[in-house]
Chain A
Amino acid sequence: MDKKLEPIVKAAQEKFGAVVEEFRGELHLVIKPEKIIEALTYLRDEQKFEMLSAMTASDYYPQSAPRFHVIYQLNSLAKNLTLQARVPVSGDQPKLPTAVGVYGMTNWRERELFDMFGINFEEHPDLRRILTPEDSEGHPLRKDFPLGYEEPQFTFNYDEVALRKMFAKE
C-alpha cells in the first residue's frame, strides 16, 4: 500500500465503516450503499480526489445479495493517488443514490449503468437509456441477458438465412 494512502484509508474505515481489500497494489474500499455519497463527498473535499476516473459495475449473478458491485475509480491529481470504492447493490430492485451532485461525470455514467445493468439511481435528473434504443428490453450487461447470436450466411444455408433478410432484394 502506498504510504500516502494509509491515513485516508484509516479515516474511511472509521467514518464509513469501509472494508479494505488490496490486490496488486490497488486499494478497494467496500462501502455500504447508504454511506457512499457521504464518502465520495468526503474524499473529494477533504482528501483531494477531485476526479472520478471511471464508474462501472459488475454483475455476480446468480448470487443475489449483493448481486452487483458499483465501482467508483477515484483519482487525485494533486496527490497523484488512485483509489477504488466499491458498493454492493442487491439484485432485487437494485437502487443507489445518485452522485451527480458530487461528480458531474456520473450523470452519463449512471445513465449507462441504468441502461446496461438496470440499476436505478434515485433522484437522478435525467435517467433515460443512453446506448441502446429507447424501446429495447432488458439490460445487456447483466449475466442473465443472452449475448445474442444470428446464423451467418454461408453457401449451405444461403436460402434459409435469405428468408430473414427481407430487404435484401427490392
Chain B
Amino acid sequence: MTQIEQVSIEKFKHLVSERALTGETMLLNMGPQHPSTHGVLRLLLELDGETVVNCIPDIGFLHTGIEKNMEAKTYQKAEVMTDRLDYMNPLGNNLAYCMAVEKLVDLDVPVRAQALRVILTELQRISSHLVWLGTSGLDLAAMSMFMYCFREREQILDIFELVSGQRMMTTYFRPGGVWRDIPVEFEKVVRDFLKIFHKRVDEYETLLTKNPLFLDRTMTLGKLDPALALSFGVTGPPLRASGVNWDLRKARPYMGYEQYDFDVPTRTEGDVYARYLVRVQEMRESLKIVEQALNKLPLGPVRSDNRKFVPPPRSEIGVSMEALIHHFKLWTEGFSAPKASVYAAIESPRGELGVYMEGDGSPKPHRVHMRTPSFDNLGVLPHIVKGALVADLVAILSSIDIVLGDIDR
C-alpha cells in the first residue's frame, strides 16, 4: 500500500492565489472523509478568514475502473456494473445502458416494457430526490427531513423489491425489455404510494419552503449563470434552476415519454433555493407521469422476441430445440454487435446520463463510456463558490447533488 501523499503548495501553485504563497491565506483540506461532502470527495480550500478564495476539488477516491471492466464482459454481464455507477439511480443507469445496446444492435422494445421502464425510472427519480432532500436537509441542520424522506424512500424500495427481488441494485431492465413481468400486486402497491406521496411532498414543503432559517441559508447563494452552466455542460436541476428549459424527456423523448403530459419546472434565480424548488416540483411531476403510465399500462409481452439478442422464456426451452440453442448461445457466448458506435442519453435525476458505446463485432464492447452528469456538474463548483463562506459551501455543494460513484466511475 502506498503512503498517503504529502500536499505541498508547490503542486497547486498555479491554482491558488498569490496570497497563499506568502501565507496570508490558509489552505485547508475538506475531506475525503467529511460528513457533508456526500461521499469521498476532497476539496482543497484556500480561505481568507471564513471566505472561500479558491476551491480545488480532488476526485478519484472511488475510482472503480468500471469502464475498463465492462470491456472484459459480454453485453449482458456488463450491465451489472452500471447499477453501481450512480447508486442513487441504478434503474436509470440500466435504462441508459440498455438503450445504447438496443440502438447498437437495432433491437425493439415492446410497449409494455417501455411503460414499465418509465414507471420505475420515475419512481427512482423520486427516491433519488428524496435522498438528496434528506441529506441536504441534514447538512442544513434540518434533521427531521432525513427521517421523513427515508420513510418514503423505503416504500419505493419495497416496490423495487417486489418487481425484482432486490432493493437497490436491481438490474431489472435488460436489453430488449425487462427481466420478467410485474407481479399482480404491483399496481395496488404503486397506487397506494401515489395516494400518500402527494400529501408527503406538501409536508416536506411546510417544513422547508417558507422556513426562515432555511431561506437564510439557501437564498442568493451559489448563483450559477446560464452561460457558464452551458459552457461547463451542467445539466439537470442545476441547469433548469438557472432558467434554461432543457429536459431530454421533453426534447428528445425516449421510451414513449411523448405520450405523457408533464411540465418541466424551471426557475430563473439559479441559486441553492431555486434548485431546491426545482427538485421538489420534479417529484410532483414524476408522480404525474407514474400515474398516467399506470393508467394506460398496455398489455402484452415485456421482452422482445428477437431470439438473437433476448433469451427465450423458460417454458419454451423444454419443448423447442431452437429455443434451447438460442438460450445456450446467449448465455455462453453472448450476442455480437456491429463495428460501430452509438450515443444514447437519458435524463437522470442529476442530468444528462449518456452512454457512448462502441462495438467491434465481438460479444464484448470495445469501449463503453458513461457520460455521468455529476462529473460535469461538480466541475462548475470552483466557479460558483468563490466569495462564499465555508458554511455556505456545504449548502452549495449539496445543492448540485453529486454522487461520487457517478463522478469517479
B15 at the interface (CB under 8 A from A): yes
Contact across chains for A51 and B230 when beta carbons are under 8 A apart: yes
Please count the residue pairs between chain A and chain B whose beta carbons lie under 8 angstroms apart in the complex.
106
* Residue B261 CB within 8 A of the other chain: no
Q: Which residues of A have CB within 8 Å of B375? A: 108-109, 112
Select A58's contact among B65, B228, B246, B358, beta carbons within 8 Å: B358
Q: Chain B contacts of A59 at CB under 8 A?
A: 367
Q: Which residue of A lies closest to B360 (CB)?
A: A60
Contact mask for chain B residues 46-90; partner A; CB cutoff 8 A; 1 contact, 0 none: 000000000000011001010111011000000000000000000
Query: How far apart sit A28 and B340, CA to CA, in the bound complex (Å)?
Result: 11
B103 within 8 A of A: yes
Assembly CA distance A167 to B1 (angstroms) = 10
Q: Kindly state whether residue B232 has any CB partner on chain A within 8 Å.
A: yes
Given known pairs A53-B352, A58-B358, the reply for A108 and B230 (CB within 8 Å) is no
Does any Cβ of A come within 8 Å of B14's Cβ? Answer: yes
Could you tell me the distance in whole angstroms from the C-beta of A114 to the nearest C-beta in chain B? 13
Q: Is the CB of A130 within 8 A of B352?
A: no
Q: Please tell me if the beta carbons of A131 and B60 are within 8 angstroms of each other in the complex.
A: yes
Report yes or no: A53 in contact with B233, Cβ–Cβ below 8 A. yes
Pick from B103, B228, B231 the residue with the most CB of A within 10 Å: B231
- Say yes or no for A123: interface residue by CB 8 A criterion: no
Q: Does B276 contact A (CB under 8 A)?
A: no
A125 at the interface (CB under 8 A from B): yes
Of the 9-residue stretches B25-33, B328-336, B341-349, which lies at the interface with chain A? B341-349
B371, A134: Cβ atoms closer than 8 Å = no
Report if A58-B341 is in contact (Cβ < 8 Å); known contacts: A104-B231, A131-B408, A141-B68.
yes
| A147 within 8 Å of B (CB atoms) | yes
CB distance from B242 to the nearest CB of A (A): 12
Q: B1 contacts which chain A residues (CB < 8 A)?
A: 167
Residue of A nearest to B245 (CB): A77
Per the 8 Å Cβ criterion, residues 95-120 of B in contact with A are 103-104, 106
Q: Does A39 contact B (CB under 8 A)?
A: no
Are the CB atoms of A23 and B340 closer together than 8 Å?
yes
B383 nearest in chain A by CB position: A104
Inter-subunit contact A53/B371 (CB<8 Å): yes
Chain A residues whose CB sits within 8 angstroms of the CB of B244 once the complex forms: 77
| Chain A, range 17-46, C-beta contacts under 8 Å to B | 23-24, 26, 28
Contact B379 A103 (CB under 8 A): no
Residues of A within 8 A of B369 (CB): 54, 56
B344 to chain A, nearest CB (A): 10
Q: Interface size for chain A: under 10, 10 to 19, 20 to 34, or 35 or more residues?
A: 35 or more
A135 and B5 contact, Cβ closer than 8 Å, known pairs A26-B343, A77-B230, A140-B68: yes
Central interface residue in A23, A107, A167, by most chain B CB within 10 Å: A23
Whether a CB of chain B sits under 8 angstroms from the CB of A9 is: no
Q: Which residue of the partner chain, among A51, A82, A125, A145, contacts B233 with CB atoms under 8 Å?
A: A51
B2 at the interface (CB under 8 A from A): yes
CB nearest neighbor in B for A146: B68
Instruction: Give A133-159 as 1s and 0s: 1 = Cβ < 8 Å from B's Cβ atoms.
Output: 111000011000101100000000000
Contact with A along B310-354 (1 / 0, CB 8 A): 000000000000000000000000000000111101000000101
Docked Cα-Cα span, A24 to B354, in Å, equals 16
User: In the bound complex, what is the Cα–Cα distance between A116 and B67 (angstroms)?
Assistant: 10
How many angstroms from the CA of A50 to the CA of B226 in the assembled complex? 11
State A134–B11 Cα separation when bound (angstroms).
11
Q: Which residues on A sit within 8 Å (CB–CB) of B63?
A: 131-132
**Once bound together, how far apart are the Cα atoms of A77 and B228, in whole Å?**
14
B232 CB contact (under 8 Å) in A104, A135, A140: A104
Q: In angstroms, how far is the closest chain A Cβ from the Cβ of B61?
A: 9
Question: Could you tell me if A58 and B366 are in contact, using CB atoms closer than 8 angstroms?
Answer: yes
CB of B184 within 8 Å of the partner chain: no
- List, in ascending order, chain A residues with CB within 8 A of B68's CB: 140-141, 145, 147
Residue of B72, B246, B352, B354 touching A147 (CB-CB under 8 A): B72
In the bound assembly, the distance between CA atoms of A137 and B246 in angstroms comes to 40
Q: Chain B: residues with CB nearer than 8 A to chain A? A: 1-2, 5, 14-15, 59-60, 63, 65, 67-69, 71-72, 103-104, 106, 228, 230-233, 244, 246, 251-252, 340-343, 345, 352, 354, 356, 358, 366-367, 369, 371, 375-376, 379-380, 408-409
- Give the interface of A toward B (CB within 8 A): 23-24, 26, 28, 50-54, 56, 58-59, 71, 73, 77, 80, 82, 84, 103-105, 107-109, 112, 116, 125-126, 129-135, 140-141, 145, 147-148, 167
Closest 10 CB pairs of A and B: A105-B233, A54-B371, A131-B60, A56-B369, A104-B231, A131-B63, A104-B232, A58-B367, A23-B340, A108-B379
Given contacts A103-B232, A105-B233, 19 further A-B contacts (CB under 8 A): A23-B342, A24-B103, A26-B343, A28-B341, A53-B233, A56-B369, A56-B371, A104-B380, A107-B379, A108-B376, A125-B14, A130-B60, A131-B63, A132-B60, A132-B63, A133-B2, A134-B5, A140-B68, A141-B367
A-B contact pairs, 28 of them (CB 8 A): A23-B342, A26-B342, A28-B341, A50-B230, A51-B230, A51-B233, A53-B233, A54-B356, A56-B367, A56-B369, A58-B367, A71-B341, A77-B230, A77-B244, A77-B251, A80-B251, A104-B380, A105-B231, A105-B376, A108-B376, A108-B379, A109-B376, A125-B14, A131-B59, A131-B409, A135-B2, A140-B68, A147-B69
